[in-house]
Amino acid sequence: MKTARELGLIPEGRLEPGPGNAITDVAGVAVGHRSLRGEGLFTGVTAIVAHPGDLFRVKPRAAVEVVNGFGKSAGLMQVAELGTIETPILLTNTFGVAACTEALIRRAIAANPAIGRKTSTVNALVCECNDGSINDIQALGVTPADAEAALDAARPGPVEQGAVGAGSGMTAFGFKAGIGTASRLMRIGKRDFMLGTLVLANFGAAGDLVLPDGRRPDPRVPASPERGSVIVVMATDLPLGDRQLQRVARRGGAGLARLGAFWGHGSGDVVLCFTTADPVEHDPAAPVAMQQRLSDSYIDIAFRAAAETTQEAVLNALCAAPATPARSGRIYPALTDWLKESSAA
């Protein structure tokens, strides 16, 4: 499947994408998927690993922005309070949160047997969307072993997009959607930095989607209330404080709004942003640590990158996903099919 950029949906004049136009353009970040099929299951798990080391011992700085809090994610409260993450980030369906949480806790304990005994407990970070229109969510199909498989599959480099991993059963704006990613190069002074975004797109009312050229694709499905969700995960190597990370995360909402989203009552819209710069040691060698931090006078380029990558990542999720039948028998169409029909008209 072609990306939104390959289909000509991304206009000129924006920031330059990274070499892979993916969250993995941020050095050290890896992504893996586990997809489940059969016996009513059309779901999975997607893992985002911030760096290849021990995340509990070397914690990336992070922040969370809850755009609309209709959701059942795990671990967000501690991220908001302490400004760090200490496990990989797992994405899954709403009823898969417990299984993924267990997998993260067990993996952290295996690497650090002192967890919960001689040192603190671990904050497992799992975010979710409801894929019940396509997947039999009541089957509780996601297991800790599936979460482990996604973690084991995590690699740097190209990221598979569309109906894969956690995105298997997700829809957006009446079309089939799922996982999407994009990145932007940020030149600040004489240095280059990267910001990459990965989305789990499962939001937007049918008929509300607005393409960058102003067209409004029609999925030809009955109108319904906006009851989906979207998880946006941003990674950067820019040295940012936790307050700045939250400000960058907040701009993910601008990318969603560009697409026509209005963050409906029943939509769980969450943005996580972490930086690989200046991580926090679990056992610091000294009571005071130095931290690099971008001057706020230069932060607008990160705001722009956050909005642009969020918008493009959602479009990539839509463009990469094929038409898929719902459990009700209706078809969630592919955006690419609409684009072909539109260009032929």
269 in catalytic set: yes
- Within a 10 A sphere around the Cβ of 153, how many other Cβ atoms? 17
Which one from 269, 297, 300, 342 is the annotated catalytic residue?
269
Amino acid at 320: A
Instruction: Give the chain's radius of gyration (CA, Å).
Output: 19
Pairing status of strand 229-236 against strand 268-281: parallel
337 in catalytic set: no
Least Cα distance to 224 among 181, 180, 287, 173 occurs for 173
Residue tagged 């032929």 (tokens): 344
Nearest 5°: phi and psi at 186? Answer: -120, 115
Identify whether the C-beta of residue 258 lies closer than 8 Å to the C-beta of residue 307: yes
How many whole angstroms from its chain centre is CA 259?
A: 16
Pairing status of strand 89-93 against strand 171-172: unpaired
Q: Using alpha carbons only, what angle is made at residue 136 by residues 152 and 330, rounded to the nearest 5 degrees?
A: 120
Distance, CA of 143 to CA of 160 (rounded, Å):
21
Specify the length of the chain in residues: 345
73 in catalytic set: no
- Within a 10 A sphere around the Cβ of 145, how many other Cβ atoms? 10
Which one from 267, 300, 342, 343 is the annotated catalytic residue?
267
Residue tagged 């603190």 (tokens): 120
Which one from 146, 183, 229, 237 is the annotated catalytic residue?
229
Residue tagged 């797992």 (tokens): 90
Q: Which H helix or E strand runs over 129?
A: strand 125-129
Cross-strand partners of 25: none
Catalytic residue annotation: 229, 267, 269
